Structure 1
């Protein structure tokens, strides 16, 4: 199926406007099949594609669906950044406060023009946290191929779910992070067995130095993600849960091992229902094809 207008966006670029995760954004076509939508990502050469619905939902939100080359996702953080950046660009405004409906949930978004691109923030909502069972933890860690001294000496793996669950796995430093070389087949099998989207391997922030992370999700057709914004929100929620503070704000650098340096901002706060997160990133709209 042919889509006449696909916009390419670098989502979650660094502060200089370089790098980021290439993402395809287009209007959805009700006549399209899910296979057609997966083909858009494959043809565009992007890991993800965002499809913006033709009209608002009953609660006034724009429906947006996300697909990889193999499947639909219940949510996509950097895809949301890309989709809202395109909506602002096409509106001709300097700021757009709106609502998005994805994966059965409606949430607030804001997009603002900045000198280096378009800054987008969205409310991630509640993030559920739990400790993995021993068999879950063992299967994922072994599939990652971590050496004996790679795990972080103080932090520990958690499973975080802002919707789709994923395992957060801390390692001791950036050198260990750079050397992670998972067995993708085993990791995909383990993630499917335990119902996980993927595995977010990270180094916690230290002082003024941002956190760093790599996201592996071969079970959904993404061997390694340039930027995974939702997992950055999950990390903020986990770090807050480990302290007595009422809020946490972090920056997470990603994409360096893929030659696409990316950066995601995230904050988490405690509320009556639990820990909620807010996620943001800078997007550069590159053009249409």
Structure 2
């Protein structure tokens, strides 16, 4: 029976069993869409990423990512960063440099460097698009299992996209973020109402003094109960925070803490300079294996 190789990568992590776990299928050129969806269901990670040869001019690799429910997701987050952590080492690209990744309709720049034995990946995301604002704050709070007073009174919950549109919800403090217990059906309805894919709760009440925000991510419509590190949400958050900086000029660096409530702490670094949003992080390959597939019908 046919087999396919895979690796497990802990992304936005400094040690094994922290950060965001990613299953990466390293040679997916021969796989069909139904096979990729079935493999993603089998691994049951928030996302499983498949490395393919590019179909667009100028791209180094094509990356496709699926959730456990079989939904294909786009944007350059931990799904893509984990792929480049592998590609820059065992994946055969040998060392650092500048590359490009084909994700959906986009071909986006990637920079890889080595720092004290670690691979550090910096990925360009799409320019930020600021979307709808939630009008029913009480309903949103209830959908999150919170009280309306847990939400920051003078800051709206807004959808922002740098490749994937997520609802960014400012919350009073870390205790309230940790107390959130979403009602999946109500949160899904609230997200659909404003055109959001997932929900990113955040606060400036951080664990480490050098961090900017402490966050949790929920995406029930895509089968993601909670994700420990979400680059496609950290990018929009950094863009939103940078837009509020006095003058709105220059480069702003945002460090997001995530995953603490799941016992998988992670740190995501995002730099914003005008419309340019770049997400950086490291991680490590923690497991390798092969999966047996059914014969093609």
TM-score (norm 1): 0.89
Matches within 5 A, 1:178-193: 178-193=178-193
Q: Distance in 1 between matches of 2:44 and 2:241?
A: 34
Is the Cα–Cα contact under 8 Å of residues 18 and 261 in structure 1 kept in the other structure?
Answer: no
Post-superposition shift, 1:205? 6.5
26-35 vs 185-194, greater mean Cα deviation: 26-35
SS in 2 for 1:230: helix
Residue of structure 1 equivalent to 2:248:
245
Post-superposition shift, 1:164? 2.6
Correspondence 1:258 to 2:259: no
172-181 vs 243-252, greater mean Cα deviation: 243-252
Correspondence 1:49 to 2:53: no
Post-superposition shift, 1:114? 3.4
Correspondence 1:151 to 2:151: yes
Correspondence 1:267 to 2:275: no
Cα 1:260–1:283 change in 2 (3 A) is: same
Is the Cα–Cα contact under 8 Å of residues 256 and 268 in structure 2 kept in the other structure?
Answer: yes
The C-alpha deviation readout for 1:46-82, integer Å capped at 9, x for no partner, is 2211111134632233211111111100224001110
Q: List gaps (5 residues or longer) in structure 2.
A: 290-297
Cα 1:209–1:263 change in 2 (3 A) is: closer
Q: Distance in 1 between matches of 2:283 and 2:85?
A: 6
Q: Distance in 1 between matches of 2:146 and 2:125?
A: 30
Is the Cα–Cα contact under 8 Å of residues 59 and 102 in structure 2 kept in the other structure?
Answer: no
Q: Distance in 1 between matches of 2:269 and 2:76?
A: 15
TM-score (norm 2): 0.86
Task: Kindly tell me the number of residue pairs found equivalent between the two proteins.
Answer: 283
278-287 vs 148-157, greater mean Cα deviation: 148-157
In angstroms, what is the RMSD of aligned CA positions?
2.3
Cα 1:288–1:245 change in 2 (3 A) is: same
Residue of structure 2 equivalent to 1:72:
72
Q: List gaps (5 residues or longer) in structure 1.
A: none
SS in 2 for 1:81: helix
Post-superposition shift, 1:92? 6.1
Is the Cα–Cα contact under 8 Å of residues 4 and 27 in structure 2 kept in the other structure?
Answer: no
SS in 2 for 1:266: strand
Is the Cα–Cα contact under 8 Å of residues 46 and 67 in structure 2 kept in the other structure?
Answer: yes
